[in-house]
Amino acid sequence: MERDVFFVSDRTGITAETLGLSLLTQFNGIKFVKHTRRFVNSLEKAREVGEEITRLAREKGRPPIVFSTLIDEDMRRALATADGVFFDLVDTFIVPLEGALDQKSSHTIGRARESLDQSKYNLRMDAVNYALITDDGLHTQDYNRADVIILGVSRSGKTPSCLYLALTFGVYAANYPLTEEDLEDLRLPSALVGHRHLLYGLTISPQRLHHVRSERKADSPYASLRRCQYEIAQAEALYRREGIPYIDTTTMSVEEIATTILHQMKLAWRLA
């Protein structure tokens, strides 16, 4: 079964997508076709999206699901009249909050980000820059600034996890690739010895690793299932030997990996 889903926002669409997709994951057996419409910041644009939703409903014979975070009331009404199943994420939360706080909201587009971004932007960019300069074992001399150092074999999800931690939480996350020599010796690399308390390992099923590597270097020894099985077994043995906490990322999204690391390592959320 297939169902079209629209995420409509007057800004980046991140809030609509994040909340909407979180709700949709509770429903199995349905293929959701995603349509994100960002920067819908005029009545004309809202009407155009509404017409698109109605047109798709007629073509498919089923109304699309619509998650909206539009602030302007006229734009919200224009969208709500379309032939879709409309979920107003702003109204759902703003109206109860107005009652709880005994105050009408400003209904100003981008107001929250306007105040937050000014104070958090530099911190976020510093964290991202740190993740980039320490990616893949580079600049190990800067590990004294790290909040966490993520370990794993090649293509196990280290870099995306570090960048997500930096962008979302302002965490200084470095990553170090376990090399063939590290795995053969089952010994912690010298660059990591003085930072044991910061280490966190990633593992992944050999089958999944084989699939990921084959997309990059098909039919190579690097991507062979036997090689993947060996590397994962050795990496997990190293984690156990050195007492390094680790998680299996096989079925986890980068968001889940990052938040698990944040929680288990008790890292400070600088962008809170």
Compute φ and ψ for 6, nearest 5 degrees: -105, 135
Query: Of 56, 76, 101, at which residue does a domain stop?
Result: 101
Are residues 148 and 205 part of one domain? yes
Q: Is 157 annotated as a binding residue?
A: yes
Tell me, yes or no, whether 112 lies in a domain: no
Query: Per DSSP, what are the bridge partners of residue 174?
Result: 149
Tell me, yes or no, whether 111 lies in a domain: no
Task: Supply 58's token pair.
Answer: 């007629």
* pLDDT, tens only, 171-186: 999 999 999 999 999 9
For the domain that residue 211 is a member of, what is the CATH number? 3.40.50.300
Tell me, yes or no, whether 58 lies in a domain: yes
Residue 219 CA to residue 216 CA, distance in Å, equals 10
Q: Is 153 annotated as a binding residue?
A: yes
* Helix and strand counts by DSSP (H, E) for the chain: 11, 8
What angle is formed at CA 137 by the lines to CA 264 and CA 152, rounded to 5 degrees?
A: 45
Q: Is 50 annotated as a binding residue?
A: no
Q: What is the pLDDT of residue 272?
A: 65
Query: Which domain does 187 fall in, by range?
Result: 118-264
Are residues 123 and 69 part of one domain? no
Q: Which residues contact 39 (CB under 8 A, 6 or more apart)?
A: 9, 10, 11, 12, 45
Q: Is 152 annotated as a binding residue?
A: yes
Are residues 93 and 163 part of one domain? no
* pLDDT, tens only, 191-221: 999 999 999 999 999 999 999 999 989 999 9
Are residues 258 and 124 part of one domain? yes
Helix axes 73-80, 43-60, angle to 10 degrees: 10
Q: Is 154 annotated as a binding residue?
A: yes
* pLDDT, tens only, 84-114: 999 998 888 888 888 898 888 876 665 555 5
Write out the DSSP string of 133-185: HTGGG--GGGGGG-SEEEEESTTSSHHHHHHHIIIII---EEEEEPPHHHHHH
Q: Is 155 annotated as a binding residue?
A: yes
Are residues 128 and 71 part of one domain? no
Are residues 142 and 10 part of one domain? no
Tell me, yes or no, whether 107 lies in a domain: no
The answer to whether 122 touches 218, Cβ cutoff 8 Å, is no
Q: What is the pLDDT of residue 67?
A: 97
